[in-house]
Amino acid sequence: MPLNNIKYTDKNSLKVDVLLADFIDQEVLPDLKIDGASFWQSFADLIHGFAPVNRKLLSKRAELQHNIDQWLVNNRDQFDQTAYVAFLKELGYLVEEGGAFKVTTQNVDDEIAKQAGPQLVVPTSNARFALNATNARWGSLYDALYGTDVIPESDGAEKTNGYNPTRGQKVIEYGRDFLNHHFPLEQGSHHDVVQYAIKNKQLSITTTKCNTTLQEPQQCLGFNGVAEAPSQIILKHHDLHVIIEIDKTSAIGKNDLAGVKDLTFEAAVTTIQDFEDSVAAVDGEDKVGVYHNWLGLMRGDLSDTFTKDGQLVTRVAAADKTYQSLNGSTVTLHGRSLLFCRNVGHLMTNPAIIDQTGNEVPEGIMDAMISALIAKHDLNQIGPLRNSRTGSIYIVKPKMHGPEEAAFANTLFNQVEDALGLARHTIKIGVMDEERRTTVNLKECIRQVKDRIVFINTGFLDRTGDEIHTSMLLGPMAPKADIKAMPWIKAYEDWNVDIGLACGFPGHAQIGKGMWAMPDEMAKMMQIKTEHPSAGANCAWVPSPIGATLHAVHYHQINVLETQKQLSKRPRADINDILTIPLCADSKQLTAEQIQRELDNNAQGILGYVVRWIDQGVGCSKVPDINQVGLMEDRATLRISSQHIANWLEHGICTEQQVIDTFTRMAKVVDLQNVRDDSYLSMSDNLNNNTAYQAALDLVFKGKEQPSGYTEPLLHAYRLKLKEHLE
């Protein structure tokens, strides 16, 4: 229903927030030379046709969950896994798998079809962050190493206020070791190089002991500067570029035998500009902020000015890189990460548009039409920079439940293409495998979008949140750390890769893995995150541009395409393992201390994130956990934590008063953690009237009744309430 504080204008049969209507009419449509009246008519037709189907699909979700709840209650005391799987098939939750097929997606950019590398996810609502991620296609290895714990602060290599040459030397040694491993010389070592030069159309290398070249001369693609004394040497390995930066007058280069000042890595080859979990967009004003930045990215003219180290800095999208090939031609390398946008899923509505029946419009339908409309600026080459060079629009679709919903997204995209005059399958889709009904029917979900799919991935937090909610009434779940160690998780991760490979993803689409959530613990990331490319993932999420630069090392160490070929020969993961519910083996063995520790961890995480979401409208930020470790958090954290407490409440592992007492104590902890944030509103001094605190409690105490355990309905309601009060 329309909100009292929103001004609407009539657009055909729609009531549209004036802010959104003006943005589209005045900023989006003119350069596209699209008539406003015809656009709004086609938009109204789209909503009229698809909103009822959207609502019917959500009703199907609720009906399936109701039937599962009833079965679990009836069979709680004599649960049998075989009978359970048979019931899911009879219910239609688990559909019959069809025959083999291969995806046929065409016009896919190389960043998806050929390259394996790090992927960033960034809130599009924040222009500075959006640009940082876009520009993270290229990153300084030296800066990434010097500023993080990958280089230990021992033996004189501490980080100091000024430049520490001992630490700097360790960075240089790491870089030379990298070159030796992946760009080895015919003779000698990169540690001993005194000159890199181009002679006779190949890389000539002089060391302290000999003249040599690369073992694989074709790894050198070209250079910039003067051939005899180049400023850049362009190398390539596993389809990723590395640039040796040479400047003997620079602070670093003047002390280097070869004058090398840095290694520039091709890092975040793709980025998901997020409209969903990492943003807090609850109305037309918020949506315009997101869409405005997406427009700037698609036109290539987005900029943001901010203060850094006491000085004003203006950030813009990076230009492309050029170099001279060994045979004299000029070659251009894309200067920015290839951008997806992640639309909202099928669940939420938004008061930015009210349809002819008086209902808020499904936000996913809004996003599909408007994000594709904006992306036409890229397709029409309006502005100085390009995103897709193959004429594609890349949209990630989250939180879909099963093949019917994937088919709905496909049909919706068909209609959007027709409305905007786009060729069929211009809009590509990424299907996030983060809901249980999608996981167990993944092959059939992919079949529904086989001509436009470019991405699947896994995500532990959302997937586990849905796992808990789906099986809420069966019994108490294991502690979260135990859940993550259970066999169903590995089966789920392997299944995702197995299905993607069987459906012919190589050369057409990415298989992705989830986030490394600790941006300050890069040494640990470097030790552990090799697991993702080793598992056959073309891309995996990292929390920062620096993380992307470091994670790129793993894609040089591991040839993902060869790994995928080997993995395609293994037996497929067992769906029965995936359907094994992560119950606590013996909840009576949980000690009071274990229970309280789990409650503390969950409550602190919920409060630490919710207080920023509700009070500040920040959808993604580095939030300290209960052990003071900064975690890059979004709504998925709330889903798993709130569902976990709700489940333990349901089965008497804890009491309502115990949960309230825990939240009361944790509010003080979170207040203390944010004491240096001037914009932070304290919770603990007025809990009964604090909107964020009340929202956090509702996430738990109303968690069982939330659709699929999602947090969005409550978060949006509380944020809208706060915004209305502030106005």
DSSP line for 95-123: PPP---------S--HHHHT----EEEEE
Mean per-residue pLDDT, 538-566: 98
Q: β-strand 202-207 against 193-199: which pairing, if any? A: antiparallel
Q: Averaged over 467-486, what is the pLDDT? A: 97
Domain boundaries, the chain: 42-94+105-138+269-305+336-578, 139-266, 587-726
Q: What is d(CA 442, CA 493) in angstroms, rounded to the nearest whole number?
A: 12
Least confident of 183-192, 493-502, 508-517, 626-635: 626-635
Secondary structure (3-state) at 221: strand
Compute the average pLDDT of residues 530-544.
97
Q: What is the CATH code for 587-726?
A: 1.20.1220.12
Asked whether the beta carbons of 438 and 401 are under 8 A apart, the reply is: yes
In this model, does residue 1 exceed pLDDT 50? no
Check: CB of residue 580 under 8 Å from CB of residue 574. Answer: no
Q: Are 641 and 462 in contact (CB under 8 A)?
A: no
When mean pLDDT is compared across 426-435, 545-554, 611-620, the lowest value belongs to 611-620
The answer to whether residues 295 and 370 touch, using CB atoms and an 8 Å cutoff, is no
End-to-end CA distance of the chain: 19
Check pLDDT > 80 for residue 5. no
DSSP-derived 3-state class of residue 14:
strand
3-state helix, strand, coil in the chain (%, to 5): 45, 20, 35
Tokens of 188: 């000698």
Find the helix packing angle between 460-470 and 635-650, rounded to 10°: 30
CATH code for residues 139-266: 2.170.170.11
**Whole-number Å distance between alpha carbons of 665 and 601:** 12
Q: What is the average pLDDT across 300-327?
A: 95
Whole-number pLDDT of residue 308: 86
The pLDDT value given to residue 633:
84
Tokens standing for residue 37: 């009246």
CA 242/CA 139 separation, integer angstroms: 10
Place of tokens 């009531």: 15
Instruction: Kindly tell me the burial class for residue 376, based on how many C-beta atoms sit within 10 Å of its own C-beta (0-12, 13-18, 19 or more).
Output: buried
Out of 109, 256, 466, 634, the active site residue is: 634
Record: fold of 42-94+105-138+269-305+336-578: TIM Barrel (3.20.20)
Three-class DSSP category at 199: strand
CA 127 to chain centre: 16
**Angle formed at CA 187 by CA 182 and CA 190, multiple of 5 degrees:** 50
- State the pLDDT at residue 727: 63
Average pLDDT, rounded, for the chain: 96
pLDDT digits (tens, 9 = 90+) for 213-242: 999 999 999 999 999 999 999 999 999 999
Q: Choose, from 342, 463, 639, 719, the residue flagged as catalytic.
A: 342
pLDDT at site 724? 86
* Alpha carbons 152 and 173: distance in angstroms, whole number: 13
Is there a contact between 411 and 449 (Cβ–Cβ < 8 Å)?
Answer: no
Cα separation, 655 vs 646, in Å, equals 10
Joined together, the tokens standing for residue 286 give 């918020």
634 among known catalytic residues: yes
**How confident is the model over 470-476, as a mean pLDDT?**
98
Q: Which of 351, 342, 462, 358 is nearest to 401 (CA)?
A: 462
Which stretch of DSSP H or E encloses residue 431?
A: strand 427-433
Give pLDDT, residue 2.
52
Residue 447 known to be catalytic: no
CA 643 to centroid of chain Cα atoms: 22
